[in-house]
Amino acid sequence: MNFGEVLSKAWKIIWKNKVLWIFGILSSCGRGGGGGGGGGTGNTGFPGSNSGDDPFSNGQLPNMDEFGRNIENFFGSGEQTWIPIAIGLFCLILIVSVVFIFLGTIGRIGLIKGTLLAENNQVPLTFGQVWSVSTPFFWRVFLLNLVAGLAIFIAVMIIVIPGVFLSIATMGIGMFCLIPILCLLVPLGFVVTIILEQSNVAMVVENTGIMDAFKRGWRVCRENIGPVVVVALVLLVGGGIIGFIIVLPVFLALLPIFAGVISNDETVLTGMAVTTGVMLCCLVPVVIALQGVLNSYIGSVWTLTYLRLTGKNPDEDSAYPVTEFQTNA
C-alpha cells in the first residue's frame, strides 16, 4: 500500500469536500465526554446563606462544616424538593446522551460514506447528500460499537474486580501483580480500536451485518497487520501532536485566571476571570472546528486504507451511488 498516496488523497478529499468537516465535528460527540463549569456571586439557595455577605472576603474558604449541614438540611427537609430536581437532571442527561450518541454515530458513518462518494466523484458533496446515505446504516453501526464497548467493559471488569479483592486480601501487595496486566491492556486496547475502525468501514463499504463486519475488519487487520499498524501509528502520533497544538491555546487562556488567584486580589481575580471567559468564548468554536477537520481527516484515512487493502473500487459496488449524485448535482 502506498502510504503517501493514502495520506495525501485523504487531505485532498476533505479539503475539496469541506462538508465532511461538519461530520468530523459530529463524530467527536460520540468519542468523549464533555465538561463545563460556572460560577457566580449570588445566593447559594441553602438555609443560612446571606447574599449580602462575601464568604471569601477574609481570604479563606467558607466554613465547610456549615456548608455540609446546609446540604443535609436541604436533602433532609420534608418538602423533598430534590426529588423532582434529580429526576429532571437525569432526564436532561439522558436526552443529551441520546442526542450525542446519534450525532456521533451519524458523524462516523458520514465520514466513511462521504469518503467513498468523493473517491471518484468530481462534484463537491453537500451535507444533505452525505446525510441521506448515512442514516440507513445508523442502527447497525450503533449496535456494532455498543456490543464492542460492552464486551470491552466486561473484559476489563473481569480483570479489575478480582484484582481489587486480591489487593484488599493481601493488604495491597496483590496490586503489584495487576500492574503488568494493566500495562498489557494499553496495547490490547490499541489493537481493538484498529479492528473496530476497520469493522465500521467494512459495514458501510460492503453493507454487511454486525458479525460479518467485525469478521471482515478482523480479517483485514490480520492479513495486513504491517500496513494497518503503520497507519495507526502515524495517526496516533501525528493526530496526538496536532490535537495537542489545537487545544494548547485553551490551556494558555486559563493562565490569566490562575494569575488572578495567585495575586490574592479580588479586583485582579475578577478582571482575569473576565479575560479568561472572553478568550474561551473566542477559542472554543475555533478548537471545535479544527478538531472536526482532524477527525474528518482521520476518518478519511481509515476508509481509504480499507479500500486500498481490500482492492475495493467505489464505482464497482452498488453501495456507492456516485453516479446518482453526479446526475443530481
8 Å CB contact between 128 and 100 = no
- C-alpha–C-alpha distance, residues 122 and 322, integer Å: 10
Greatest mean pLDDT among 19-33, 122-136, 159-173, 249-263 lies in: 122-136
Q: What amino acid is encoded at 94 in this protein? A: L
Higher pLDDT, 59 or 111: 111
DSSP-based three-state secondary structure for 101: helix
pLDDT over 90, % of the chain: 27
Mean pLDDT, the chain, as a whole number?
78
The pLDDT confidence band at residue 67, using thresholds 50, 70 and 90, is low
Q: Which tens digits make up the pLDDT trace of 190-226? A: 888 899 999 999 999 988 888 999 999 999 999 999 9
> What mean pLDDT is predicted for residues 312-326?
47
30: nearest Cα among 91, 95, 97 = 97
Q: What is the pTM of this model?
A: 0.74
Range in 31-40, 102-111, 136-145, 200-209 the model is least confident about: 31-40
Indicate if the pLDDT at residue 36 is higher than 50. Answer: no
Domain ranges across the chain: 3-19+63-328
Indicate if the pLDDT at residue 322 is higher than 50. Answer: no
Indicate if the pLDDT at residue 48 is higher than 80. Answer: no
User: Grid coordinates representing 182?
Assistant: 494493566
- C-alpha–C-alpha distance, residues 225 and 171, integer Å: 42
User: Grid coordinates representing 273?
Assistant: 476571570
The pLDDT confidence band at residue 87, using thresholds 50, 70 and 90, is confident
8 Å CB contact between 295 and 25 = yes
Q: Which tens digits make up the pLDDT trace of 138-195? A: 999 999 988 888 988 888 888 777 777 777 777 666 677 777 777 788 888 888 889 9
Indicate if the pLDDT at residue 3 is higher than 90. Answer: no
User: Grid coordinates representing 105?
Assistant: 454515530
Q: What amino acid is encoded at 237 in this protein? A: V
